[in-house]
Structure 1
Amino acid sequence: MSRDRRPDPFAERHEQSVSAPKSIVPTPALTQDDLRGRRVIVGAPGLGWRADLRADEKVVQGSRTYVPVIPEQDWYRAELEQVEVFAPLVPVERVWVEKLAFLQDGDGVSNPAPKHLVSLDAPPEQHPITAVDARRITGRRLVQVIDGVERRDLRAVTETYSSADGEICIRIATELEWYRWVWSGQHPKTLEVPARLLWLE
Structure 2
Amino acid sequence: MIIGLPGLGWRGDMRADSPVIQGSRTYVPVLAEQEWYRAEAEQIEAFAPMVPIERVWVEVVTSSSTMAKNGERDLISRLVSLDAPPRRDPVPARDAASLTGRRVITFSGTGEKAGHQRDLRAVTEPYASSDGDISVRVARELDWYRWAWSGNAPKTLEVPVHLLWLE
1:70 Cα offset (Å):
0.5
| Aligned twin of 1:142 | 104
Identify which of 35, 43, 53 aligns with 1:82.
43
Whose Rg is larger?
1
Q: Note the residue ranges of structure 2 that are not aligned, 5 or more in a row.
A: none
Identify which of 31, 34, 39 aligns with 1:70.
31
Task: Kindly indicate whether the alpha-carbon contact (under 8 Å) linking 1:67 and 1:92 is maintained by their aligned counterparts in 2.
Answer: yes
1:114-148 Cα deviation digits (max 9, x unpaired): 43211111112211111111111000000100013
Give the 3 Å change call, closer, same or farther, for CA 62–188 of structure 1 in structure 2. same
Give the 3 Å change call, closer, same or farther, for CA 106–172 of structure 1 in structure 2. closer
1:98-117 Cα deviation digits (max 9, x unpaired): 233425569623x3854321
Give the 3 Å change call, closer, same or farther, for CA 170–106 of structure 1 in structure 2. closer
* 1:173 and 2:142 matched: no
Task: Kindly indicate whether the alpha-carbon contact (under 8 Å) linking 2:62 and 2:89 is maintained by their aligned counterparts in 1.
Answer: no
1:141-162 Cα deviation digits (max 9, x unpaired): 0010001312110000000001
Task: Kindly indicate whether the alpha-carbon contact (under 8 Å) linking 1:112 and 1:134 is maintained by their aligned counterparts in 2.
Answer: no
Structure-2 separation of matches of 1:136 and 1:53:
22
**TM-score, normalised relative to structure 2:** 0.90
SS at match of 2:61: strand
Give the 3 Å change call, closer, same or farther, for CA 106–49 of structure 1 in structure 2. closer
Spell out the pairing of 1:119-198 with structure 2 (5 A cutoff): 119-147=81-109, 148-198=114-164
Give the 3 Å change call, closer, same or farther, for CA 168–106 of structure 1 in structure 2. closer
Which of 1 and 2 has higher RCO (CA within 8 Å, sep 6+)? 1
Structure-2 separation of matches of 1:106 and 1:154:
18
CA RMSD of aligned residues (A): 1.7
Structure-1 separation of matches of 2:124 and 2:72:
19
SS at match of 2:69: coil
Q: Note the residue ranges of structure 1 that are not aligned, 5 or more in a row.
A: 1-39
Structure-1 separation of matches of 2:122 and 2:67:
28
Letter of the 2:117 counterpart: R
Structure-2 separation of matches of 1:112 and 1:194:
23
Give the 3 Å change call, closer, same or farther, for CA 191–98 of structure 1 in structure 2. same
Structure-2 separation of matches of 1:118 and 1:74:
30
SS at match of 2:2: strand
Kindly tell me the number of residue pairs found equivalent between the two proteins. 161
Structure-1 separation of matches of 2:2 and 2:20:
17
Detail structure 1 runs of 4+ shifted over 6 Å in the superposition. Answer: none
Give the 3 Å change call, closer, same or farther, for CA 160–114 of structure 1 in structure 2. farther
| Aligned twin of 2:80 | 118
